[in-house]
Amino acid sequence: MEAQALPAALALVAGGGAGLSPEKRAALGVSLPLLQRDYRFERVWFWGCIQGVRGAYYIAEGLGPDRAAPRSRLYSLNCLEWSLLTPATEEMLAQAEQVTGRFQGDPSFVYDLADINAQAAKKLFEGGKEPVIKEEIRLVATIEQIDRAVGIVPRGAFVKTPLGSVHENRHFEGLSLVEAKKLSSYFHFTEPVNLKNKTLLEKANLDPSTDFLDSLEHDIPQGSWSVQLERGGAVVVLRSLLWLGLTFYHVPMTKQYGYVYFGTGEKNLDLPFML
C-alpha cells in the first residue's frame, strides 16, 4: 500500500486484526519518505510484516516509472533503519521451498538443509555449494512468492503502453460496487501465465491496454479468496486463504486500494483439504 496513505489504509484493513503499534506507524511515517528520497524511488509501498520467533521483518518496496519492472525490496527490524535485499532468483525460490517452519527474525540465521531435506542438500553439495541457506535469502524468496501469488490490483488501475511499459492509469476512478465484488475485477500484478494460454477468440474481447494481467477468477484452488464488504459496504476487502495474512482493500468509486501482508511467511498447504 502507498506509504503516503499508510495510516488511513491500515485502518481500512484492520478488520482482520492486522495492524501496527502507534510507535511503528510514527517511525514509518518518518523513515519511508527518507527512503524514497535517498534511493530516488518514484513511489514507495509499505509491503507488510513477516513475524519471526525472535523478531519481525518490516518490508518496503521501491518502484520506478515502469510499474512492471522488478521492484527494489528493503527490510527493517525497527521501522527506522532499512537494508536493501538482493533480487530474488529462481535458485533462491527453489532453495527456500525446502525450508519449513517459522522465521527466526535474525537475517544472519543459517538453515542447514541437511537437517531439512537430505536429497536437496546432496544436490547442492555435488554442485560445489554449501547445503545451507541464510534467513535473508529465505526472506527475499518468500516476499517474491507472496507477490507472485497474491499481490493484486483492481482492473483498470494500470495501463500498458504500446512499448510494453506499465503505468498508473490517471483516468482510473475506482470500480463500481457491483464490479468490486467480483473476483474477475482484480488482477495479479505480476507476469501473466493464464493469459498466454487463452485462445484468439477469448482475447478478442479483451482490451490489451488494461487486460494484460491474469484475473483472480481462475485461481487454483478455487475458493482461495474471501471477499467481504466492511464499513457498511463502503469498503471491499479480499483476504487470501492461501497466504494467510494478505489483505487487499478497495473503496469503490475512488482511487483508494492496496494490499498489505501481516503473517508468519508460511504458505497454507492445507487449503485444498479445507475447502
Taking only the tens place, the pLDDT of each residue in 46-71 is: 999 999 999 999 999 999 988 888 89
pLDDT at 67: 86
- CA 149 → CA 11, 29, 106, 228, distances in Å? 24, 28, 25, 20
State how far the Cα of 64 lies from the Cα of 61, in Å rounded to an integer: 10
The answer to whether 47 touches 73, Cβ cutoff 8 Å, is yes
Which sign, positive or negative, has the C-alpha torsion 213, 36, 175, 159? negative
pLDDT at 208: 75
Which ranges of the chain have pLDDT less than 70?
15-17, 114-130, 196-197, 199-204, 275
**Residues 6+ positions from 107 with CB-CB distance below 8 Å:** 57, 75, 83, 134, 135, 136, 139
pLDDT at 139: 95
Amino acid, res. 267: K
State how far the Cα of 86 lies from the Cα of 102, in Å rounded to an integer: 21
Q: At which residue does the C-alpha cell 490489451 appear?
A: 208
Note the pTM of the prediction, 2 decimals: 0.89
State how far the Cα of 55 lies from the Cα of 70, in Å rounded to an integer: 27
The x, y and z cell numbers of residue 223, run together, are 475458493
State how far the Cα of 260 lies from the Cα of 113, in Å rounded to an integer: 30
DSSP designation for 165: -
pLDDT at 97: 86
The x, y and z cell numbers of residue 38, run together, are 535517498
Q: Is 112 exposed, middle or buried (0-12, 13-18, 19+ CB in 10 A)?
A: exposed
pLDDT at 230: 87
Pick the closest to residue 252 from 192, 185, 193, 197 (CA basis): 185
Q: At which residue does the C-alpha cell 509501498 appear?
A: 45
